[in-house]
Structure 1
Amino acid sequence: MRLSVISTLLTGFLLFPSANSFGLLLETGAEQEQIGQGSNSIAVESQTTSSVSKVAEIKTLIQTAIKDSPQPFSGSVILLEQGKPQFELQKGEGISQDSRFVMASLSKQITATLILQALDAGKLDLTQTLNHYLFGDAEGKNKALKGMDAGVNPSADALNTSQYDELITLHQLLTHTSGVDKLGKANRFEPGSQFEYSNFGYSLLGQVLEKVNHQSFAEQVAQFATRYQFNGLSAELGSIEAIHAKVPSLAVGLQESEVIAPADLVLDEALLPAGGLIASAPAYAAFQHLLHSGKLMSAKSYQRMTTAYTEIQFLWPNMRYGYGMRINKDDGLVEYSHTGYLSGYMSMTLHYPEFNLDLVMLENLSLNLNDRARVFELHNQIRQIIRSQLLLAKASNVKP
């Protein structure tokens, strides 16, 4: 749908100089997002040692793609090389470097990180059952293993409406292979047998963290943000209107349908671990840099997180899933990514370890889902811009 009002509102774009300090993408399902309206814009490129490299080409192409996109865009984009910001762009009414956004499914990477930190602290075993942690089911795992040894599926027994399928492990929740359904319902499939994206599964991981750390998930996120100085990362509860009143930097999410209007979104405890966390683009970029620098967990846990456990069907071909992370290795280029869509917000993150290059893209406009290709057209275009330039760099054996 072409909305003439958008072209008027979303004129120009902001490209700010990079900040010197960094202390300072839910998928369709429980996630959805919206648009920020027009703004005046200024373009300034930060000076870096790679200004004549492929990174310079990448930022020029991204800038042009957003400027020329036929779809409305409101949000914040940041590109990092070696952890240093090379390019920052803000576009939309009231959008600035400090603007915060509901991250949608990028929240899953924070949740997976907290799980792996608990693992490193000896509080969790990823092969242990969900029931063990939520209900103190010390025998649940033993019964499940006996069932597997006997060649039977314990979940085929009479449905236990007070617990989840006794075969479900934390590993399966992290990889969306658990098939978990609400209490009182039969599992969707045999745990571990297939991939099915599950926001509910990540909500349960949040509950596990509350059990083992003896504090709310929101409090854990606050401590995490303080510990690593991720200013701009937080977990808030309530309607977007209410949160914006106490966190004015939160960009109000807009949903495109017949008209563009504020999204009717409420962040509750169940949504937080799966898609309800809030961050500015610099804050999430700082998190992503520390994550891939090995500073948030042990090397063994990071390897677990970035291992491709299962194939998945996604907009991009040949995708696999680790822990809160999509993985692609087409053409010999390793890519770790995630995207998000929630009423009022969209998001995307990309990391290329060979080049230590990161992109974070947070938006406060969710496009109408009646045309999926249109919704994710700009995400796909920006990803292809980066991939093509990095592949050229690999082919010519030059610095990106």
Structure 2
Amino acid sequence: MLTVRLRYLARRLSWLLLLVTAGSHASSWLSSQPFHTLMLSQTERPFPGDVLISPEGATELVFASSDNAGQQFVIGSLSKQITAALLLRLVEQGRVNLTDRPEQYLPDLPEQWQGRITLGQMLNHTSGIIALNRPLAEQPGQFRYSNLGYDLLGQIIEKVGQRPYAEQAKALFYLCDMRHSFAPSQRHPVSAAARLAPGERERQDGKRVAVERPLPQASVPSGGIVSSTSDLAAWNRCLYQSDKVLADTGSMLNPTSQRPHRWGKLGYASGLQVAETDAGIEYSHSGYVPGYISTMTYYPEHKVTLVILENVSWYPGDMPRVFGIHDRIRNELIRQLASKPISKDFHGQP
């Protein structure tokens, strides 16, 4: 018992020393102390993560375990907004329409799907797709989360764009100055990441084991992109504060379905959740893949990004525990933003 207690105190001390250092990065108006307290008070599980709170025009708040500072992570379902943006760029170029049927591009899809779903429904998870060898789960138009739907969109992006998905993603990352992000491919696998935080998964008995096999290549569009907290903050600036990604972001940001979620009912747009919070509109998503979990939110009225990346996929039988620290950090940020004036440059949804 004494040994366990000493290990717990050592973890707390390690975080305390690191967070005092991180406190030197404090924003001119965000208070770092509540975030320090939140992280130091967690007892349900460790937090091997990297947290970035990036306000426009103010110094960023950075919290990271000593092993993970500045590292790269597989970002899980945050990848979906990249896939959505790549498809919508092709829509803006007039090369594809959201009302198109997926079988127009992938003729080998199951016959029972054909003529029933659109690319737009695949973007907002109302297609009913669950597996290639199974009929649609329900009548198209009802929300049902589908990783496979996004993986198929990745294949459509390759066909329409006439380049591999990884190359199209690379061009977009370059446009947004994301130098530590890439979509893994056979030529450039996950293991090629220069600063990848090694992924682990937690078993039901609480033991953590290394994840040796990354997601299959076909799953990159739905959950396999590699990035970092600073690159994802750059992505949000590029998407929400410029026209580099899309000339008109309405088709990406306007919710067209509703998702039941632990935060309540959320609107779902294209690879993004949309909610009205005390801090105003929030665009968000989380991710969970073997070895990694993630959360990213953006508050356009304040031009503030939150990114949380971890290199442990905690046992999924208790999702409030898995994402508990993420949710409390999010809630504290909303609390602080709610007491601050809206950005002078905000004139409605971007």
Instruction: Sort the TM-score into its range (normalised by shorter chain).
Output: 0.7 to 0.9
* Equivalent pair of 1:75/1:90 in contact (CA under 8 Å): yes
Other-structure match for 2:83: 111
Gaps of 5+ in 2: 345-350
Larger Rg: 1
Q: Aligned ranges for residues 1-400 of structure 1 at < 5 Å?
A: 4=4, 7=8, 8=10, 12-13=14-15, 42-46=21-25, 51=28, 53=29, 55=30, 57=31, 59-70=32-43, 71-82=45-56, 85-92=59-66, 94-97=67-70, 99-135=71-107, 161-162=110-111, 164-192=113-141, 194-237=142-185, 243-244=190-191, 246-257=192-203, 258=205, 259-300=207-248, 302-331=249-278, 333-393=280-340
Partners in 1 of 2:20 and 2:195 — Cα distance?
18
State the one-letter code of the partner of 2:223: G
Contact 2:214 2:290 in 1 (8 A): no
Distance 2:62 2:13 in 1: 17
Shift, 1:318, TM fit: 2.9
Moved over 4 A (4+): 3-6, 8-11
Secondary structure (helix, strand or coil) at the match of 1:271 reads helix
* Partner Cα separation in structure 2 for residue 270 and residue 294 of structure 1: 30
Instruction: Give the equivalent residue in structure 1 for 2:348.
Output: none
- Does the 8 Å contact 1:13/1:43 carry over to 2? no
Taking structure 1 as reference, are residues 83 and 189 closer, same or farther at Cα in structure 2, changes over 3 Å only? farther
**CA–CA distance in 2 between the matches of 1:287 and 1:337?**
13
The 3 A distance-change label for structure 1 pair 212 and 166 is same
**Percent of matched pairs sharing the same residue:** 31
**Aligned CA distance change for structure 1 residues 14 and 343 (closer, same or farther; 3 Å):** farther
CA distance 1:221–1:11, shift in 2 (3 Å): farther
Change (3 A) 1:131 1:254: same
TM-score, structure 2 as length reference: 0.87
Change in Cα spacing, 1:6 to 1:207, as seen in structure 2 (3 Å) is farther
Distance 1:212-1:332 versus aligned 2 partners, 3 A rule: same
Deviation of the 1:206 alpha carbon: 0.2
Rounded to whole Å, the distance in 2 between the matches of 1:269 and 1:167 is 27
Note the C-alpha offset of 1:389. 1.6
TM-score by length of 1: 0.77
Relative contact order: is structure 1 or structure 2 higher (C-alpha 8 Å, sep ≥ 6)?
1
User: 2:224, 2:343 → 1: CA distance?
Assistant: 40
Report which stretch shifted further, 361-370 or 261-270.
Answer: 261-270
CA contact (8 A) 1:126 1:169 kept: yes
Contact map agreement 1:14 1:89 (CA 8 A) in 2: no
CA spacing shift, 1:280–1:331, aligned 2, 3 Å: closer
Alpha-carbon offset, residue 200 of structure 1: 0.5
| CA separation of 1:162 and 1:308: change in aligned 2, threshold 3 A | closer
CA RMSD across the alignment: 2.8
**One-letter identity of the residue aligned with 1:62:** F
- Helix, strand or coil for the counterpart of 1:261? strand
**CA distance in 1 between partners of 2:343 and 2:111 (Å):** 59
User: For residues 184 and 350 of structure 1, what CA distance do their matches in structure 2 show?
Assistant: 35
Residue 20 of structure 1: aligned partner: none
**Unaligned runs of at least 5 residues, structure 1:** 16-38, 137-159
